[in-house]
Amino acid sequence: MNIFKLKNTIQEYAWGSKVIIPELLGLTSPAEEPQAELWMGAHPKSPSGILKDGKEISLIDYIKQDPKGTLGQNVAEIFDNNLPFLLKILAAETPLSIQAHPDLLQANEGYKRENNQGIPIDSPRRNYKDANHKPELICALTTFDAMCGFRNYSKMCDLFQFLQLQKNIPEIETFIQNPTERSLQILFKELMEFSEERKKEAVDILLERYKKVTPRTDEDRFIFQWICKLSQIYPGDIGIFAPLLLNTIRLQPGQALYLDAGILHAYLKGAGIEIMANSDNVLRGGLTPKHIDVPELMKTLSFSSKPLEIIEPVSFDNVEFIYDTPANEFRLSIIRLTESNKLYIAKKRSGAEIILCRDGFTEIEWEKEKKLKLNKGESIFIPFSTGKYKIEGKAVLYRAIIPISEIQ
């Protein structure tokens, strides 16, 4: 099979950057509208296109023609003839909503339930756009600020007490007296279900208190900076409390976070490569004018407090650097081709792949001297039946594969 260049769709959301994606793709910069995400894959909402026999067809239709040859037999059988991942460039100028993703069982049940209720797929009240879960990995291209998972209970209590929030918000005082997973669950639900008047009152108290204290550490300073920024963008939103509740961090370029089902998170600012299971299911929890379904969100969330794990890529050949996660649907790696290491050879392959050229230029060769040039901003789809291939040049490439062996 041939290797195909992809024609991808840009998603224009209000939080996007007018610069990052246009400059990567060599388009006019700044763009007229914010460009938030570039999608590479076969999601029904915005599938990539390929040029076959002189005609452009969607990647979905191309895979349907020969699922086993395109995806690989095991991948086709396990994932019902679908490409199981979606690759994105994400460019956040302002914060995304606080959100979490359901597990596979909840997504399946929720999708069927909302279908039976007759809620249109494009309805703003809809929670489940498909029946799939959405584990995801975000890999920073620039410095990348994010909130991810509930922070250590002791640290959370320390921040509450440092700001003396318990004096005016009794629900916080109750949590401080017995900081456990269950009491955090109760506190979070109470905050989310405050009346609009109480939300405004609580946010006003928080803003008044943090302005009166001197940050003790760089971490305090970073948390308070984001409380300030969020209050300016989403005044009165209870999500302004999130930097106190969630691990609030800055990734350096090349570092990554893995987010499984139920992890409350928000991407705040920066550019990254995002890879996820092929789903668009999002349950929101603040910093958004969109629909928030508190009972459904509560069913999803994990309130455990675990140390935040920043993933660094690991290399065995000093050419390909792999981000290891437990996801079955995807694996992301960086291929760095330099003056001293100009060649990458893909021998044993597990399924279809997508490769994005982040910088530089390369030439890909497969079968009997078939060749294709790949330049900055371009991406390709490599069917499983293409077999072995090699890449030569000077470039930084992001490679998305399905980590399932064809020999099981």
pLDDT digits (tens, 9 = 90+) for 246-274: 999 999 999 999 999 999 999 999 999 99
The predicted model gives 200-204 an average pLDDT of 97
User: Where does a domain end: 234, 261, 286?
Assistant: 286
State the maximum Cα–Cα separation within the chain, in Å, rounded to a whole number. 74
Contact in structure between 358 and 399 (CB atoms under 8 Å):
no
Tell whether 271 and 332 lie within a shared domain: no
Q: Is 126 a domain residue?
A: yes
Tell whether 265 and 132 lie within a shared domain: yes
Tell whether 14 and 69 lie within a shared domain: yes
If you average pLDDT over every residue of the chain, what do you get? Answer: 95
Tell whether 259 and 380 lie within a shared domain: no
Separation of alpha carbons 55 and 79, rounded Å: 27
SS3 for 310?
A: coil
User: Where does a domain end: 237, 264, 286?
Assistant: 286
How many C-beta atoms surround the C-beta of residue 369 within 10 A? 6
Q: Is 132 a domain residue?
A: yes
| pLDDT computed for residue 306 by the predictor | 83
Tell whether 139 and 278 lie within a shared domain: yes
SS3 for 292?
A: coil
Least confident range from 120-129, 138-147, 388-397: namely: 120-129
Q: Is 268 a domain residue?
A: yes
| pLDDT computed for residue 337 by the predictor | 97
Q: Is 388 a domain residue?
A: yes
| pLDDT computed for residue 408 by the predictor | 39
Domain count, the chain: 2
Give me the amino acid identity at 269: K
Q: Is 29 a domain residue?
A: yes
Residue 208 scores a pLDDT above 60: yes
Separation of alpha carbons 317 and 296, rounded Å: 45
The predicted model gives 136-157 an average pLDDT of 97
Encoded tokens for 55: 């005609």
Tell whether 275 and 378 lie within a shared domain: no
Q: What residues make up the domain containing 119? A: 8-147+251-286
Separation of alpha carbons 80 and 75, rounded Å: 8
Q: Is 214 a domain residue?
A: no
| pLDDT computed for residue 275 by the predictor | 98
| pLDDT computed for residue 87 by the predictor | 98
Tell whether 37 and 136 lie within a shared domain: yes
Q: Is 131 a domain residue?
A: yes
> Please, is 391 exposed, middle or buried when counting C-beta atoms within 10 Å of its C-beta (0-12, 13-18, 19+)?
buried
SS3 for 329?
A: coil
Q: Could you tell me the CATH number of the domain that includes residue 383?
A: 2.60.120.10
Tell whether 259 and 396 lie within a shared domain: no
396: which strand partners?
Answer: 336, 359
Residue 128: closest CA among 284, 287, 289: 284
SS3 for 300?
A: helix
Strand pairing report for 343-346 and 98-100: unpaired
Q: In which element (H, E) is residue 98 found?
A: strand 98-100
Residue 42 scores a pLDDT above 50: yes
The residues near 347 (Cβ < 8 Å, ≥ 6 apart) are: 388
| pLDDT computed for residue 347 by the predictor | 82
The predicted model gives 376-387 an average pLDDT of 96
How many C-beta atoms surround the C-beta of residue 213 within 10 A? 12
Encoded tokens for 394: 């000077």
The predicted model gives 65-92 an average pLDDT of 96
Q: Is 174 a domain residue?
A: no
Tell whether 274 and 381 lie within a shared domain: no
pLDDT tens readout for residues 157-172: 999 999 999 999 999 9
> What is the share, in percent, of the chain residues with pLDDT greater than 70?
99
Residue 406 scores a pLDDT above 80: no
Least confident range from 29-38, 49-58, 219-228: namely: 49-58
What amino acid positions are annotated as catalytic residues? 284
Tell whether 263 and 396 lie within a shared domain: no
Q: What is the DSSP string of 141-200?
A: SS-EEEEEEEPPHHHHHHHHHHTTGGGT-HHHHHHHHS--HHHHHHHHHHHHT--HHHHH
- C-alpha distances in Å from residue 371, one per residue of 20, 22, 249, 390, 391: 29, 27, 42, 10, 10
Contact in structure between 402 and 72 (CB atoms under 8 Å):
yes
Tell whether 340 and 267 lie within a shared domain: no
Tell whether 276 and 140 lie within a shared domain: yes
Encoded tokens for 248: 């609030």
For the chain, what is the radius of gyration of the CA atoms?
23
Encoded tokens for 2: 């041939």
Contact in structure between 98 and 287 (CB atoms under 8 Å):
yes
| pLDDT computed for residue 405 by the predictor | 53
pLDDT tens readout for residues 336-366: 999 999 999 998 888 999 999 999 999 999 9
Residue 188 scores a pLDDT above 50: yes
